[in-house]
Amino acid sequence: MQIYDLEEIISQEEINKKILFLSEQINNFFRDSSFIAIGVLKGAFFFMAELLPHLKNCETFDFIQAKSYEGNKTTGKIRILKEPSVLLKNKNVLVIEDILDTGITATGIKEYLLQRDVKNVYFCTLLDKPSRRVRQIRPDFYGFEIGNYFVVGYGLDYEEKFRDKRGIYILKFKS
């Protein structure tokens, strides 16, 4: 049995403040146009649920589920497990992510959406981890830049555990 330590690095209060800040940025950006929000399951569920009520020109929302991780390691490949069901053709799409890490999942989702003739694809992520990026992609909106830690909480998981934590935590593995 593996034992873990959790160290909180971002509190629920800090997340709440950042959501208000991000909603202002997004509302200013989409001041003259509308968009469809696409949340990346399962990790972005909490973040998206808190962010959406503050967004003004969002036509509707849906979800996509993509996977590129097994445990705490990326496989280097993306699999789409759930496709959005709303019509995306000629629409601006705001992808809402929990974390932008290697960029493998984000670039895979972007390619998938562009093949569906969307107008533009933008990314909003709660956490940005540029030190691990292996694909050239940057978020249009991000909450917190973090170092090279494996983090859980607020929707982020390790083998489906810790999603329910209200803050963001570094997951440390004990020997």
Q: Which residues are catalytic?
A: 101
Strands ordered across the beta sheet of 35-41:
73-82, 58-70, 35-41, 92-100, 120-128, 141-145
Q: Distance (Å, rounded) from C-alpha 45 to C-alpha 62?
A: 11
Note whether 35 and 59 are within 8 A (CB): yes
Question: Phi and psi (nearest 5°) for 149?
Answer: -115, 155
